[in-house]
Structure formats: C-alpha cells, structure tokens
Chains A and B, each alone.
Chain A
Amino acid sequence: MSQTQPIITFEKVNKWYGDDFHVLRDIDLLVTPGERIVICGPSGSGKSTLIRCVNRLEEHQEGRIIVDGTELADDVKAIETVRREVGMVFQQFNLFPHLTVLENLTLAPTWVGRMPKKEAEERAMEQLKRVRIAEQAKKFPLQLSGGQQQRVAIARALCLKPKIMLFDEPTSALDPEMIKEVLDVMVELANQGITMLCVTHEMAFAKAVANRVIFMDQGQIVEENNPHDFFDHPKNERTKDFLSKILGH
C-alpha cells in the first residue's frame, strides 16, 4: 500500500444482527483515495453490510471505522459530516417518487449544502448531463425506465461532490438491456478518479475498472487481489469455487 493516508479505515470491525447473526467478522480494510474496489461474494456474506457501514446506515458494535479522518461513532454531527462526503447508490434506486428528477437532485445541495436554489439547479443539470439524462429533468422518477432511474440516482449522489461513492448492487434490479447504460456511467466516473466501493457481480466491470477485488464469505474477507490475479490465479479454494459458479457458463 502507498504512503498516502487511507480515506477509509476498517479496524477489526465486528457486527451482529440481533444476538446471534455475526454478519461482519474481524474486518480489516484500508482504502486509499482514488482506489476502485469491487466487492463480491455469495448472498448473505456481508458485502452490502460492509459498505453500508461506511456511511453508517449500519452500526458496527466492535472495532473502528474512520472515513476521511472522522471516526464513526454515536456523534450525530460526525455522521452527517461523513454522509456529505460519501454518495450512495442503491439496488432499488430509492429515488423520491413525489419529487421531480430535478428536485431529487437539488434536495441535498439546498438543504444540506445550504446552496441557493439557482446554483443547486445548475449543479443538478451539470450532473444530469454527466449521466446523459438532462432532457428528463422535469419528469417524475416513476415515468422513467429502470436504467434511467438508476442514472438519476447516481447523479443525485454526485450532487454534493462526494469524495467516496458506494454502489450497492447497482445493476441487480435492472433489465438486461439497461445494465450497460448504467455501467457505462460508472466506468466514466471511475476514470475521473473518485474513490469507489462497489458491490457487484458484473465481473467484466470489475476487470475493466477495479484496482482491487475483494471476495467475502460468511462475514469475512476471504481474499483480495488485483483483478488480474484474482480472476486468473485465485489462491483460496472458496474463491475458486465461487468464481467457477459465476463464470462457469
């Protein structure tokens, strides 16, 4: 790892759902600024929980998580500071159906960033152009296709100019024809140097953009490597088994 200060640090993080579902087990992870990490693993392995801990949509019970110099604990102000630095894209898009596309995007800049309305709208249009959907600004989310909705969601997350982007299975709820338009936007974003943590099973995407691929199973990081070695020379038997299942056909 390089000398630069990590932007995300996980130190011996443990998390349980309820009393006996140990979902994250001794997670240690350092992410350097600009790094693009793809996380994969079977369902229930804790990969979504891991990235949801970065903006504290999930609370961890043991260990430390430090994001951009701020440790995540019970301090609400600290959490809100971190959330401004971290954008998130969800599997189910989670756009606000009662607001137009433009209002979805200007919400955070006006209320969290205290930006004047006009400036927020300019920035929103800039982000909508970036995801190539500017002509839909006045529509409501449910009038758009799934792929368009997910691109709006990406634009919304970018409106506060976050340093880190989290993607939680962004293409899993999409029709096959729409996956590419979303991945194209994500590849462009990756090329612009933003730090990315992406839970996905799109292995072509992982090969194309990731610096590092992490494989998780049963709450643990089983193996991590650069994409070339990860896919061509997996070390762990569990990883080999998983890859043979998802790449096997």
Chain B
Amino acid sequence: MAAVFHPIAPRPAPARTRGPMARIRANLFADWMSTLATVAMLALAAWVLPALIEWAIVKAVFRPDANACQAARGEGACWGVIAEKWRFIIFGRYPFEQQWRPEVATVLLLGLVTVSCIRSFWKPWLGILWAAVIPAFFWLMGGGFGLSRVPTDLWGGLPLTVMLATFSIVFAFPLSILVALGRRSSLPAIRTLCVFYVELIRGVPLISVLFMASFLFPLFLPVGQSPDVLLRVLVGITLFAAAYLAETVRGGLQAIPNGQVEAARSLGLTYSQTQRKIVLPQALAIVVPGIMNSFIAIFKDTSLVTIVSLYELTGAMSLALNSDANWRPFKIEGYIFIALVYFAFCFAMSRYSLWIERRVSVGKNR
C-alpha cells in the first residue's frame, strides 16, 4: 500500500513573553555585555544630566533682562536673549513693522511644500498651486502692488533659509536626474559634459561657488546688468546640490537590471518612456535615503550664504547678537536656539524620508 501524504495544519507561532519586566530584561539586561552597557549609560547620565539641568533650567534666566543674565553668567543659561532677540533672529534685517510679510510668505511656502510631500496630492492642481504661491511669496517678500519695497539684501532669517532650501531642492532634483541620465548616455558629447560638470562642482567647496556667484560673476557683465545677488546665490547652490544628487541618482540607475530596459524596449517604449515609466520610478525608490541625505545637507548648507552678506537664520542670529553689546556674550544660547530650529526641520525631513521609503516599496516585496 502506498504511503499517504498527511499535511500538518499550520498553527500560530508560540506566544512571546510580554510585559514591561520582560521587555526591560530583553532590551537592557539580556547578557553581561548589555548589562554593562546599560550601567555605563546610566552612570554617564547621572554624571552629566544634573549639571545640564541646573544650567539650562534651575539657574537659567528666562526674562529678557541683560543685567540678570550678566549676573548668572557661567552658572545659568540666559534664555532672555531669545526672548529679547527672537524677531531679529527669525526675520533678520527685514523692516520690523513689515515682518508679518515674511511670516505669511514663509507659512505659505512651508504649507505648499508640506502639501507637495503627500503623494495622493500629486495632481495637476498642485502645479497650479505652485504657480500661485511662488509669485505670492515674492510679492509679500519684495513688495510692490501696494506693499512697500524691500530690497533682497534686507531679506533674512528663517524665511531666507526656507526659501533658499526649497528652491534649490526643487530645481536641483530634476537637474540631477538629467545629469545622471546624461552620464549614462550613449552620446559621448553629453556624457563628457555631464562628467565634467559633476567632477568640477565636486572638486570645489560650496563657499567658493558662492563667492564666484556673488563677486566674480558680475565682473563679466556690464555694470547694472547683473542679476540680483539672491538669484545668483540660488543658482550657485542649485548647481552645487545637483552635482551631488546626480551621483546619488546614478547609483540608483545602476541598480536597475538591464532586463528591465530590454523588456521595456521590446514592448516598443521609447527611450524617454522607458526612463520615466520603468527605470526612474524604481531607481529613485532605491535611493530615497541618499536623496534625503542631500536635501538635508542643502538645508543646512544654506547657512553658508552669510559669507556673501545674506543673513539667513545662522547669519541673522550672529548679527542680532553682535550688534548689541549687552547681549553679545550669549552666543551659546543663540546657537542652541537655532540648532533646535534646524533640528525641527531636518528631523521632519528625515521622518518624511522613512515614510516615503515605506510607501514606494509597497508591492515590491511580499
């Protein structure tokens, strides 16, 4: 008699031990190494935290009172400097009574960026929204049509940081895709041009690019013909960021098996259809972490425009404190404040990256 195959019915995995004690043991005291690390970390915290809390909270001065701050120097933080100077730090040299304008403009721009981050909003109306918000941003910032004129060298603080980061990212990203595709092109002229561009930009520091955009470039143009310094700096950052992004994107392109291209071409898709529908969606999904890395770097690199006398967040903070002898000693507090602002933006970008990573990998794995 032939043997009969008896399948064993599947059953759920055995229950894991739960509860806080079990979790603490598993995570903190699993073996002697882990126990040692836990004890060491606790000791470090016990050593550092009390002093930190005393400086930052217990002995800190929260009132905008320069004398009280002087008295507490060396023992307590002077958060009064933020209470006193926050408008200068956030808005830079922008005329004080007009500062509602950059405020509204920045909220509009950040709202636009936030909406654009959500994939289900990637519809034609989003383009219309961009076309509406961008002129509104520049109208609010620069004036005209009933608002008083504010020249671009007075723009500053967080609005300038957000503007520089947003526009350089928005322009650098598509440019980087073209450059990455160009580097893989079969046409030698295009390939050489793209390689030359990437290697040239990567070979110089951003500061020198900004210097050239700000001081060297106008020398080649007739007096008064040179575009606004803000525009020149924006182009400089965009070109700089695009070179780095292009290499990240190229890494993604190289990860796509040639069979994908062959399948697309065998179906009669053109080169551009193949890239847009097959190669890029997969390549970009792979390099989301690298792309977001570059975006975050761009956001923070905007702080370098201070050297060409544009006072974005970091520059505005320095300017605010340096220009007032009473508050000049409290730079640490100022830096901590802007560090928190930078952190809030960068952390949001980083969380968004993780979210989009999960979204684009849907369906690719079982």
CA distance A111 to B277 in the complex (A): 10
B254 within 8 A of A: no
CA distance A208 to B267 in the complex (A): 28
Contact with B along A93-130 (1 / 0, CB 8 A): 01111101000000110011000000000000000000
Q: Binding site of B, secondary structure by majority: helix, strand, loop or mixed?
A: helix
When distances are taken between beta carbons in the complex, the residues of chain A under 8 Å from B269 are 107-108, 111-112
- The bracket for how many chain A residues form the interface is 20 to 34
A231 within 8 A of B: no
CA distance A111 to B274 in the complex (A): 10
A241 within 8 A of B: no
A57 within 8 A of B: yes
B259 within 8 A of A: yes
A16 within 8 A of B: no
* Nearest B residue to A113, CB-CB: B268
Cβ-neighbour of A94 out of B263, B273, B277, B364 (below 8 A): B263
Interface set, chain B 127-179, CB cutoff 8 A to A: none
Cβ–Cβ contact B282 & A98, under 8 A: yes
Cβ–Cβ contact A156 & B267, under 8 A: yes
A160 within 8 A of B: yes
CA distance A34 to B282 in the complex (A): 37
Cβ–Cβ contact A83 & B363, under 8 A: no
A88 within 8 A of B: yes
Cβ–Cβ contact A55 & B266, under 8 A: yes
When distances are taken between beta carbons in the complex, the residues of chain B under 8 Å from A98 are 281-282, 285, 360, 363-364
Cβ–Cβ contact B268 & A80, under 8 A: yes
State how many angstroms separate the Cβ of B281 from the closest Cβ of chain A. 5
State how many angstroms separate the Cβ of A6 from the closest Cβ of chain B. 21
CA distance A157 to B365 in the complex (A): 24
Contact with B along A150-164 (1 / 0, CB 8 A): 000100110010000
Cβ–Cβ contact B259 & A108, under 8 A: no
A140 within 8 A of B: yes
CA distance A153 to B281 in the complex (A): 20
State how many angstroms separate the Cβ of B76 from the closest Cβ of chain A. 56
* Nearest A residue to B361, CB-CB: A98
CA distance A156 to B263 in the complex (A): 10
Interface set, chain B 329-366, CB cutoff 8 A to A: 360, 363-366
Given A80-B270, A96-B278, A112-B268, is A143 in contact with B263 using a C-beta cutoff of 8 Å? no
B309 within 8 A of A: no
A226 within 8 A of B: no
CA distance A137 to B267 in the complex (A): 19
Cβ–Cβ contact B363 & A107, under 8 A: no
Cβ–Cβ contact B265 & A107, under 8 A: no
* Nearest A residue to B365, CB-CB: A142
A92 within 8 A of B: yes
Contact with B along A210-223 (1 / 0, CB 8 A): 00000000000000
Given A90-B259, A94-B259, A96-B278, is A140 in contact with B363 using a C-beta cutoff of 8 Å? yes
When distances are taken between beta carbons in the complex, the residues of chain A under 8 Å from B281 are 98
Given A107-B269, A111-B269, A156-B267, is A94 in contact with B285 using a C-beta cutoff of 8 Å? no
Cβ–Cβ contact B266 & A57, under 8 A: yes
* A–B pairs, 26, beta carbons within 8 Å: A83-B266, A86-B266, A88-B263, A90-B259, A90-B262, A94-B257, A94-B259, A94-B263, A96-B263, A96-B278, A97-B282, A97-B364, A98-B282, A98-B285, A100-B363, A107-B269, A112-B267, A112-B268, A112-B269, A112-B273, A140-B363, A142-B364, A156-B267, A157-B266, A157-B267, A160-B267
Query: Which 6 residue pairs across A and B have the least CB separation, nearest first?
Result: A94-B263, A140-B363, A108-B267, A94-B259, A83-B268, A88-B266
Chain A residues with CB under 8 Å of chain B are 55, 57, 80, 83-84, 86-88, 90, 92, 94-98, 100, 107-108, 111-112, 140, 142-143, 153, 156-157, 160
Instruction: Using A80-B268, A84-B268, A112-B267 as known contacts, list a sample of 6 further A-B pairs with CB atoms less than 8 Å apart, ordered by residue number in A.
Output: A83-B265, A83-B268, A94-B263, A98-B285, A107-B269, A111-B277
